[in-house]
A and B are shown apart, each in its own frame.
Chain A
Amino acid sequence: MTSFLARALMLSTPLLFGATAEVFAQRSGVMITAIEGVFVMGAWAGFVGSYLSGSHLVGLLFAMLAGLLTAALHGWICVYLGQQQVVTGTAINILALGVVAFFHRVIFGVPISPLQVVPLAKIDIPLLSSIPFLGPIFFQQNILTYLMYLMVPVAFFILFRTSIGLSIRSTGENPEAVDVAGINVKRIRFSMVLLAGLVGGLAGSFYSIGYLGMFTTNIIGGRGWIAFAICFLGNWNPIGVLIGTLVFGLAEAVAILMQSSGTGLFPNEFFIALPYIITIILTITRKSFNVPASLGIPYNKEN
């Protein structure tokens, strides 16, 4: 049971990173529909960095940089050129998948057995990790999961208790007013997209170096979209995102458990599809969204 819950928590980590990244970007008015591409790039760059240098730190830096560049392209087209966000994201997702598969081949050729790196080590927090039941769940995790604990309160504080957070939220609600107040709307939006790229790249790297220790091109398989959905379902709020993320982490851990043990009651495919089914049900049943008013609408001064 403890190892099952520990795994659920671990699997929540990248989703929380990705969904929090989306919260910041979407609160400012931009949907990172390229999130799947950002995840894939992060996963790949993280793997390449770790594999070639032997250092996880280099891998994580690579992942953040790759996520940043991917998001920058998205942000440039959506914020500065004012183009449609959904289609831009789709294009970038295709491109990212192609780039990753192509350069993986260029760098590594076609290896006989999949290349591997040692996954990020689990760090036992002294004292805390020996608390019965809770210790092994919360305090025997890798560095990224510990970072997740910090992320929720920090994100909440920045968004709702600082003037920067106020500017971000106002930019998504009423960009004209923000503009009149002398704040550069496009700059705020673009910075939020870049921030989301950094965090999203890190999230992607969790799948390659944080957990599996290897890379395949289908490693993300829609997880970016789930993070995107969690941002919606979590009401664009870091606390809501936390709840959503834990539900999905749990669903994913159940899926892995069921696939390995196999009760025979439900087919494996059901558990693979479960997170997506949950998303659909929640998207339909959830009410009273506080959607940022100008979400998805490019801002142009002249208009």
Chain B
Amino acid sequence: MNSKFRDLLFINALAVLMGLMVSGIVLLFLGENPFYVYATMVQSITSDRYIMAEIFVKTAPLILTSLAFGFAFQANLFNIGAQGQFYVGALIAVSSSLFLQDKLPGVIALVVVFLLTLLGGGLWGAFIGYAKAKYQASEFLVSMMSTYVALAFMNYFLRTFLLETKGEYPQTDPLNPSVWLGILVPNTRLHVGFILSILIAVGIYVLLFKTALGYRIRVVGHNADAAKMAGINEKKIMVITFVISGALAALAGFIEVNGVQHMLVQRFSPGVGAAGIGIAILANAHPIGIIFASILFGALQVGGVMLGQTMGIPSSFVEIMQGSVMIFVIASYFVREQLEKRREKRKLKKVVAA
């Protein structure tokens, strides 16, 4: 294990702990003992098989939205609109599932839905990437703004074409069990989507670090000028990166709709995009690291829900935990930079002395 990686693990763990400690302070305002609350949280999420499985249910979409941000980040592009691409994916998944569920056998329908979701998210991403490549439009402005457009689209469809047969609430009819993603562990909600998201994370790792395209993407991210001189078509890379990034976030919508909700409702997982950014930062945008960081955020989210149920702690405590963990992790990059600098200096001194 090299010293840089050791720093990363150790300092990140410390940052996460400090983030949780600091967010614990707000519990004092509720008259609760933070240590007791955290102990209860750990106990409640580890005591029961169903609840432990819930952690991984929450983890699955986070891995994908986080990959969406992290992948673009490798090309030095900011896709902060994963939330919108997630909505687009969910919308396509639910409408194509509703349309195909009576016409095709389950597995084939699922494959088609999967591909359509990829296509839709990819196109949505392509638009952002193309605007950046062709018109130098700031990608994070466009991606951020397109989230609100996607949300409006979703609300419109839920109120009109996709409105449930009863017509009571702005939500769709439930999907047929034939197009649900299979359950992995009996009597829990853990579904195949979790395995799928891990496989995709590994796939993205291979793509980024073992293929020529991945190499080009990272070169563009690391040094755009060098990329140009090496004859890499920077604009093409930008569009491709955003296509993949958008498709990843849209897939999160697919596995949430077909794996967990089995329908589409309003106010659907509103924090999944932003949490993805935090996770990518925690993992240094590394696809394999993202899996583990997602599990941490999944555990925090399930823990937050449990605290609400057992102790009446407001659900906003989850956001406080996630936000302060993110801030400490970002600040810890500074500490790591300093450690690295000091190590370099020491190396230099040794060389000079010898």
Given A279-B141, A283-B131, are A95 and B29 also a contact pair (CB < 8 Å)?
Answer: no
- Residue in A closest to B146 when the chains form the complex, CB atoms: A280
Q: B153 — which chain A residues lie within 8 A by C-beta?
A: 269, 273
Q: Interface size of B by Cβ–Cβ distance < 8 Å? A: 49
Q: Tell me whether B322 and A229 are in contact (CB under 8 A).
A: no
CB distance from A198 to the nearest CB of B (A): 21
Kindly supply a per-residue 1/0 record for chain A positions 62-85, scoring 1 wherever the CB is within 8 Å of any chain B CB and 0 otherwise. Answer: 000000000001000100011110
Any B CB within 8 A of the CB of A98? yes
Secondary structure type dominating chain A contacts: helix
Contact A272 B324 (CB under 8 A): no
B174 at the interface (CB under 8 A from A): no
CB-based contact A232/B330 at 8 Å: no
CB distance from A56 to the nearest CB of B (A): 26
Evaluate contact between B142 and A280: CB separation under 8 angstroms.
Answer: yes
Taking the closest CB of chain A, its distance from the CB of B222, in whole angstroms, is 15
Interface residues of A in 68-110 (CB under 8 A from B): 73, 77, 81-84, 86-88, 90-103, 105-106
Query: Is B339 in the interface zone, CB < 8 Å from A?
Result: no
Are the C-beta atoms of B317 and A98 separated by less than 8 Å?
Answer: yes
Q: Tell me if B145 and A280 are in contact (CB < 8 A).
A: yes
Which segment of B57-65, B192-200, B234-242, B273-281 sits at the interface?
B273-281
Which residue of the partner chain, among B271, B319, B330, contacts A84 with CB atoms under 8 Å?
B330
The contact of A229 among B80, B141, B151, B271, by CB within 8 Å, is B141
Complex Cα distance, B146 from A95, in Å, reads 23
Contacting pair A97 B319 (CB below 8 A) = yes
Residues on the A chain within 8 Å of B140, using CB: 86
**Is B327's CB under 8 angstroms from A284's CB?**
no
Contact between chains at A232 and B334 (CB < 8 Å): no
Residues 254-298 of chain A, each 1 if its beta carbon lies under 8 Å from chain B, else 0? 000000000000010110110011011001110001000000000
Cβ B144 vs Cβ A102 within 8 A: no
Q: Which residues of A contact B86 (CB under 8 A)?
A: none
Known: A273-B148, A276-B145, A280-B146. A102 touches B317 (CB 8 A): yes
Q: In the bound complex, what is the Cα–Cα distance between A99 and B160 (angstroms)?
A: 36
Verify if A207 is at the interface (C-beta below 8 Å from B): no
- A102 cross-chain contacts in B, Cβ below 8 A: 26, 314, 316-317, 319-320
Please tell me if the beta carbons of B327 and A269 are within 8 angstroms of each other in the complex: no
Contact among A84, A91, A217, A279 for B327, CB-based, below 8 A: A91
In the complex, the answer to whether B320 meets A95 with C-beta atoms within 8 Å is yes
Nearest-CB residue, chain B, relative to A302: B341
- Report A41 CB to chain B, min CB distance, Å: 12
In the bound complex, what is the Cα–Cα distance between A279 and B26 (angstroms)?
A: 37
Q: In whole Å, how far is A177's beta carbon from the nearest beta carbon of chain B?
A: 22
List B97-154 residues whose CB lies under 8 Å from chain A: 131, 135-138, 140-142, 144-149, 151-153
- Main SS of the interface on chain B? helix
| A15 to B182 CA separation, bound complex (whole angstroms) | 48
Interface centre among A229, A232, A276, A279 (most CB of B within 10 A): A276
Whether B330 pairs with A105 at a CB distance below 8 angstroms is: no
| Shortest Cβ distance from residue A195 to the other chain B in the assembled complex, whole angstroms | 22
> Out of A88, A92, A96, A225, which one reaches B144, CB within 8 Å?
A225
A62 to chain B, nearest CB (A): 17
Query: Using Cβ atoms and an 8 Å threshold, which residues of chain A touch B314?
Result: 101-102, 105
Q: Does B326 contact A (CB under 8 A)?
A: yes
CB distance from B26 to the nearest CB of A (A): 6
Residues of A close to B80: CB separation below 8 A = 86, 90
Total A residues in contact with B, Cβ cutoff 8 Å: 44
Which of B26, B140, B141, B275 is packed against the most chain A CB atoms within 10 Å? Answer: B141
- CA–CA, A98 and B319, complex, Å: 5
Does B323 lie at the interface of the complex (its beta carbon under 8 Å from any beta carbon of A)? yes
**Which residues, 302 to 318 on B, are CB-close (under 8 Å) to A?**
314, 316-318
- A87, B277: Cβ atoms closer than 8 Å: yes
A129 nearest CB across to chain B (Å): 36
Question: B14 contacts the other chain (Cβ, under 8 Å)?
Answer: no
Residues of A within 8 A of B331 (CB): 77, 81, 83
Provide the bound-state CA to CA distance between A81 and B26, in Å: 25
Shortest Cβ gap from A6 to chain B (Å): 26
Contact assessment for B324 and A83 in the assembled complex, using a CB-CB cutoff below 8 Å: no
State whether B330 touches A77 (Cβ < 8 A). yes
Tell me, yes or no, whether A165 is within 8 Å of chain B by CB. Answer: no
A284 and B131 contact, CB distance less than 8 A? yes
Bound CA span A81–B151, Å? 35
Interface bits B322-342 vs A (CB < 8 Å: 1, else 0): 111011001101100100000
A106 with B271, Cβ < 8 A, contacts A86-B78, A98-B319 known: no
Contacts of B96 in A (CB 8 A): none
Instruction: State how many angstroms separate the Cβ of A216 from the closest Cβ of chain B.
Output: 13
Which residues from chain A contact B29 at a C-beta distance below 8 Å? Answer: 103, 106
Smallest Cβ distance from B333 to chain A, in angstroms?
6
**B278 and A90: CB pair below 8 A?**
yes
Cβ–Cβ contact A95 & B137, under 8 A: no
A279 lies within 8 A of B271 (CB): no
In the assembled complex, how far is the CB of residue A32 from the closest CB belonging to chain B, in whole angstroms? 13
Shortest 5 CB-CB contacts between residues of A and residues of B: A95-B323, A98-B319, A101-B316, A273-B152, A91-B326
5 interchain pairs (CB within 8 A)? Answer: A86-B80, A95-B327, A98-B320, A232-B141, A273-B151
Q: B: which residues have CB within 8 A of A?
A: 26, 29-30, 78, 80, 131, 135-138, 140-142, 144-149, 151-153, 155-156, 159-160, 271, 274-275, 277-278, 281, 314, 316-324, 326-327, 330-331, 333-334, 337
Knowing that A91-B281, A94-B319, A285-B135 are A-B contacts, what are 15 other residue pairs whose CB atoms are under 8 Å apart, sorted by A's residue number? A77-B331, A83-B331, A88-B330, A91-B277, A93-B274, A94-B271, A94-B322, A98-B317, A99-B320, A222-B148, A229-B145, A273-B152, A276-B148, A283-B141, A284-B137
Residues of A that sit less than 8 Å from B by CB: 73, 77, 81-84, 86-88, 90-103, 105-106, 217, 222, 225, 228-229, 232, 267, 269-270, 272-273, 276-277, 279-280, 283-285, 289
